[in-house]
Amino acid sequence: MQETKEAKKLVLSGIQPSGTLTLGNYLGALRNWTKMQDEYLCYYMLADLHTITVRQVPAELRQNCLKTAAIYLAAGLDPEKITLFLQSMVPAHSQLAWVLNCYAMMGELNRMTQFKDKSARHADNINGGLYTYPVLMAADILLYQADYVPVGKDQKQHVELARDIANRFNNTYSETFRIPEPIISTNTASIRSLSDPTKKMSKSESGDGTIFVLDNKDTILRKVRKAVTDSDGEIRRGEGKHGINNLMNIYSAATGKTDGEIESEFAGKGYGDFKLAVGEAIADLLGGIQQEYERYMADKAYLNRVLIEGAERASYAANKTLSKVYRKVGFYDPHK
């Protein structure tokens, strides 16, 4: 882990390709990733191993992997600058996850709020993978010696667990893993559901609370028109004004306007006007991505090439850490 002064800091993050990405995934994660690609050495993966903790239709999962890769590129990630790869194509993730399982405590895993939420939602399928999911995520991060992990707020606890596991391993043996830090943007850390702003916007929500990155303009306008607000009638941030606060966060992220600018723009106007403007701003923001997306989807050979080259680069980096770990825990290697 020698670090020269000019060495770029390393960034790793991922999104589960379990369906079409949401506006929450885009604003909470993907958009921030694109801003980091010039300054840092970035590894961005499609966390397909994580998706099977919940039942997937195999043909859909395959298609969603390709679609998500196209969305990554359409959002502005440049495979010449970053390493874009599929987690399942780099076996070291599963291999390190096993080792780290032996350094993660049941008590720690029991405290993971996402496990509690997901097991309540999928009560008929509380499998071991759902439980050890954060350990696989720790392996994703630690394999690359990541300095920073840009995520939404809901993933912060998992990054903290990765830090704890890394520290435990380093203290048991010797310095092996770099200790990663989560990077969480302020106003877009948790985009809320439009139909229930006390909950986060999520891929799995059925109904009109979630805007998908590939939704067309009419759909976006309709969903925002139906968004739950309050009876106060004023466009301003306020305690308990979850719906309006959320729409202000989205509008601000889409237009770059500050709260003050938004409040004066809509002074004396009603929620209908505001919702129309929010819907238009989202449609503008996503419209460009959608066009690019179609272009990438029409060139499957190119997408395949990006994924194959990405997996080769990722494997090279990941295997370096994995062999160090294997040696430290005491696995015998007859080649050496």
Residue closest to 38 by CA, chosen among 83, 82, 85, 84: 82
54 in the Ramachandran plot: left (φ > 0), alpha (ψ -120 to 50) or beta?
A: beta
For ligand TYM, the closer of residues 14 and 266 by Cβ is 14
Least distance (Å) from ligand TYM to the CB of residue 149? 5
Least distance (Å) from ligand TYM to the CB of residue 4? 25
Q: H helices then E strands: how many in the chain?
A: 14, 5
Q: Does 154 bind ligand TYM (CB under 6 A)?
A: yes
Q: Does 314 bind ligand TYM (CB under 6 A)?
A: no
With CB under 6 A as the contact rule, the residue among 10, 74, 83, 152 that binds ligand TYM is 152
Q: Does 230 bind ligand TYM (CB under 6 A)?
A: no
Q: What residue number has its CB nearest to ligand TYM?
A: 28
In the structure encoding, which two tokens stand for residue 216, read together? 């067309």
Distance CA 317, CA 92 (A): 10
Burial of 124 (0-12, 13-18, 19+ CB in 10 A): exposed
| Binding residues with ligand TYM: total (CB under 6 A) | 25
Longest alpha-carbon distance in the chain: 77
For ligand TYM, the closer of residues 13 and 255 by Cβ is 13
CA angle in degrees (0–180, nearest 5) for 109-113-114: 95
Least distance (Å) from ligand TYM to the CB of residue 125? 16
With CB under 6 A as the contact rule, the residue among 37, 56, 127, 190 that binds ligand TYM is 190
With CB under 6 A as the contact rule, the residue among 53, 88, 132, 155 that binds ligand TYM is 155
In the structure encoding, which two tokens stand for residue 119, read together? 């097991």
The residues of the shown chain that bind ligand TYM, judged by CB under 6 A, are 12-16, 24-25, 28-29, 47, 50, 137, 140-141, 149, 151-152, 154-155, 188-191, 200-201
